[in-house]
Structure 1
Amino acid sequence: MSLVRKTVFVLLSLCLAQLGYTQHMGTKFGFELAQGKKKLDIPFEIYNNLIIVDVVLNKVIPLKFIVDTGVKTSILADRIYLDILHVDYDRSITLVGAAGGIGVEALIANNVSLEMPGLTCHGLSIFVMTEDYLRLGNSLGISVHGILGSELFNRFVVKVNYATRTLTLYEPSAFKRNPRGYEVYDLLIEESKPYIRASIVQGDTSTFDGKFLIDTGASHSAMLHVGSNEKIYVPEPNISALLGRGLSGDIYGKVGRISSISLGKFNFNSVLTSFPDSSSYQGIIGETKRQGTIGGNLMNRLHLIFDYSQKKLYVRKGSGYSRPFDTDMTGMEILATGVDFKIFLINEVRENTPAQRADIRAGDVIVKINHSRAYQLTLSQIYRIFNSKPGRKIHLKILRNQQVIKKTIVLERLI
């Protein structure tokens, strides 16, 4: 999958006194488990290392939301869903991405409800995008309609099990601290976002401890900000890449490998790491004093329990703990388009890559991969094929100028 698909970066230092949960006498607001329940399991899907849950908006419309610790306030990606329900908006604001740039217009809707089996949320205030700036479906290959922010983590102790694809919510009063088999670490909660200390090794001698945002809404393994610490540098070899899309547009940078990242006793070697262009994130670096972000492609190797109320993170090894960090071995950036996201358009081909050597071009459409017709696959399945094994031959049929052409790509580890 693409190297980073952090779908949204929002600065929430705005004065939003009206945001939060609206209070009305005699009615419960916020997230609540079904009556008498102290614990709830919620299944989720994984696309590009992101956690996707099914929700029902205002008791009517079934949607899919990303569960994102990196966002304070929940977001609906397109106003059409509330417009058809004739929901009134409180006011409009301008949201600015963490990478800076020109902001985008959003509306504030109050008294929104979200439901999942066994869980309700009433009186939620959310940002509503005036149009689908984020284009989440194109990068994930499924319809994704919004982002569930910190409200869930502020309310419950949340266990994330990537292996079983289950979120477990605990009433804080019912959660037994220090669960067996877990290591416990201090969390720093700022603006309802979780930060942790981690140790980074670049090369043989460049070692430092830093402050990192734990971001379930980022698909990368790790991101480091050059300029936030004198020991951070872009390693060689590296590749130029589209790192993701934020509110202010596409975010570019480099991707390379660092020697290791350590979270306490948990150590990860040869970690694929993103380095956004130096012009990006300067505002957020200055405001948060962080050195980077830890994302889903590292966290999915662990079992995690977030306890915001006690400012603790419980961690133990997951089944994929020792899995190597690999990425696309073709040099292609692919977008899923069409009604069901079953048309796979090659958006970019990087220089000196297997795709370029095979004369694959931007604008080509993938029709067949080996023995499978492309529409039978998901975008995630396609990327798994494309980063499966160096030296593997991938036979493609592509559509170019209304002509079907056969191509063969030999996979190569590019970093």
Structure 2
Amino acid sequence: MLIPFSISAQGFRLPENQKFQKINFELISNLIVIPVEINGADLTFVLDSGVSRPLLFNLSDQDSLQINNVSEVTIRGLGDGEPMKALSSSGNKFALGKAKNYDQDLFVVLDKEINFSTSLGIPVHGILGYELFRDFIVEINYGSQYIKLHNPELYDHAPHKRSQTLPLSIQNRKAYVEGTVLIKDSENIPVKLLVDTGSGDALWLFHEPEKGLEIPEKNYEDYLGRGLSGDIFGKRAKVNGVRIGDFELKDAKAAFPYQESFGFAKNLGDRNGSVGGEILKRFNIVFDYPREQVTLRKNNNFRDPFHYNLAGIDLQHNGLRYIAERIADSRGVVRDDESTFGNVQILLENKTRLSLVPEIIVSGIRAGSPAAEAGLQEGDVILAVNGKRIYRYKLQEVLKMLNEKEGKRIKVLIERYNKDMLFTFVLKKVFDDD
């Protein structure tokens, strides 16, 4: 975002003598989702170390939200589309527990296409990053899914004996760490990576052949995500390894975004890519922006295999739909184990229950993937996976069903043009072993 702001002297603060504020989070698609109160309204945000100012979007489910001192601006971010109109607002009260800022600037994005909720499966209203990292020592425990916002003046900097503290470069309100990557049979290539908790991917690398950052031969084109200025596409591949400090991850998943997605940034400097949530979640991390350092310690996620979309399907919520179920209990009592995620239920003659439940559709499909070869198409409504009616499950649980393990046979019941259709395919590796 390229809009200049004056820096508030207020910032986030804890009550006097309070050492930290602990906040539990949900980890969804490798993203940290936290509760945030803005001007008295309870909202849900993604903690995004790659964003320099808070962004508000997807406010359709809010009865009312007051924002202060509003003016219209133009902003631009990742993606190859045009800049967009937004609202700039100042003097807002942000609260995360007892951590509060009474004079916070923010942007309000009016484009309805900017919406994490449909792909994450829960309401998400914005992203928040730099100000928290600037004002606190931020401890992220990915293993137990909580963050602690430590008062820098009261924080004990004694690291754990199994942790490692590394330099962290803070430039233009963003943090960078240095590491190396091993591509094919090359030597380890030094890289400078943006630390991006707001990316669910493992590693983004810029295609820079002169530095040895070549795209591996085994790759495929894919949708990488959506930025403020449009969709981002690129190549997905696997690199032999990535090293940060003394920690090495082998056969790491990597994406090479097309350069036009970064057209708004005239000069990326010496940055070579980004490290995102699928790598970061393997550590418990302490970010210390004031001292420009980060402390890493391996957690139980460290040796987890990297996740690939074996089926080749992307899903998202697409509004609501009614379903009809017969009730087995002759008294017409709805049992707890029959409950759904729908919030509207109608009983008809004590025999049938109509429920309003989220509709999940195929939002994207990878060419040549098992799902594409079986005949699934974008826009198909998912009804059941391997005999399980999906309205009983969260979006992320459905995605897991579709990508359990190589060699598993998947049966997907869909609706297309008001007709039910059944497709079968077998999950296979994205990249064959060398």
Using the size of structure 2 for normalisation, the TM-score is: 0.86
Q: Which moved more, 1:29-38 or 1:135-144?
A: 29-38
Q: Which moved more, 1:395-404 or 1:29-38?
A: 29-38
Q: Does 1:164 align with 2:144?
A: yes
1:309 aligns with 2:309: no
**Alignment map for 1:155-234 (pairs within 5 Å):** 155-180=135-160, 181-227=162-208, 229-234=210-215
Aligned residue among 35, 51, 59 for 1:71: 51
2:108, 2:395 → 1: CA distance?
A: 27
Query: Which residue of structure 1 aligns with residue 360 of structure 2?
Result: 344
Contact 2:32 2:197 in 1 (8 A): yes
86 and 297 in structure 1: CA distance in 2 versus 1, 3 angstrom threshold? closer
**Counterpart contact for 1:342–1:374, Cα < 8 Å:** no
**SS of equivalent to 1:381:** helix
* Alpha-carbon separation, structure 2, partners of 1:283 and 1:231: 25
- Over 3 Å counting, the alpha-carbon distance change for 1:89 and 1:229 in structure 2 is farther
Match of 2:316, SS?
strand
Q: CA deviation at 1:409?
A: 2.2
Q: Please tell me whether residue 384 in structure 1 is matched to residue 400 in structure 2.
A: yes
Which residue identity does 2:130 align to in structure 1? S
Aligned partners of 2:79 and 2:226 also within 8 Å: no
User: In 2, Cα distance between the equivalents of 1:351 and 1:80?
Assistant: 34
Query: Which deviations, in whole Å up to 9, do the C-alpha atoms of 1:262-282 show, x marking residues without a partner?
Result: 001000111111111132225
Is the alpha carbon distance of 1:36 and 1:169 closer, same or farther for their aligned partners in structure 2, counting shifts above 3 Å?
Answer: same
Residues 51-93 of structure 1, C-alpha deviations (whole Å, 9 max, x = no match)? 000112211x211000010001111114668993453443221
Alignment counterpart, residue 141 of structure 1, candidates 94, 101, 121: 121
Does residue 1:120 correspond to 2:136, yes or no? no
Select between 29-38 and 390-399 the one with higher mean Cα deviation: 29-38
- Distance of 2:157 and 2:16 partners within structure 1: 23
Deviation at 1:103, TM superposition (A): 0.6
Alignment of 1:227-306 (within 5 A): 227=208, 229-284=210-265, 286-306=267-287
Q: Answer yes or no: is the 8 Å Cα contact 1:141–1:342 preserved in 2.
A: no
Of structures 1 and 2, the one with the larger relative CO (CA 8 A, separation 6+) is: 1
SS at match of 1:93: strand
Give the number of the structure whose alpha-carbon radius of gyration is greater. 2
**SS across alignment from 1:286:** coil
What residue is the counterpart of 2:347 in the other structure? none
Distance between the aligned counterparts of 1:409 and 1:395, measured in 2? 7
Once the two structures are overlaid, the 10-residue window that deviates more, 243-252 or 371-380, is 371-380
Cα displacement (A) at 1:358: 1.7
Aligned to 1:7: none
- 8 Å contact from structure 1 (residues 75, 149) kept in 2: no
- Structure 1 gaps of 5+ residues are 1-10, 24-28
Listed one character per residue, the Cα deviations across residues 149-176 of structure 1 (whole Å, up to 9, x for unaligned) are 2000000001111111000111112112
CA distance in 2, matches of 1:305, 1:241: 33
1:354 aligns with 2:370: yes
Counterpart Cα distance in 1 of 2:66 and 2:219 = 50
Q: Cα deviations across residues 15-46 of structure 1 (Å, max 9, x unaligned)?
A: 333xx43x6xxxxx432224431112110011
Letter of the structure 2 residue corresponding to residue 16 of structure 1: F
3-state SS in 2 of match to 1:342: strand
How far residue 326 of structure 1 moved from its aligned partner, in angstroms, is 2.2
TM superposition score normalised by structure 1: 0.90
Corresponding residue to 1:150 among 112, 117, 130? 130
Identical-residue share of aligned pairs (%): 29
Query: 3-state DSSP class of the match of 1:139?
Result: helix
Number of aligned pairs?
395
Instruction: Name the residue aligned to 2:335.
Output: none
SS in 2 for 1:109: strand
Task: Give 1:403's aligned residue.
Answer: 419
Residue aligned with 2:204, SS: strand
Q: Is 1:42 aligned to 2:26, yes or no? A: no
Alpha-carbon distance in structure 1 between the residues aligned to 2:174 and 2:368: 39
Change (3 A) 1:299 1:86: closer
Q: 1:33 and 1:323, CA in 2 relative to 1: closer, same or farther beyond 3 A?
A: same
Name the SS of the counterpart of 1:131 in structure 2.
coil
- Give the stretch that moved more between structures: 236-245 or 290-299: 236-245
CA RMSD of aligned residues (A): 2.0
- Which residue pairs with 1:16 in the alignment? 5
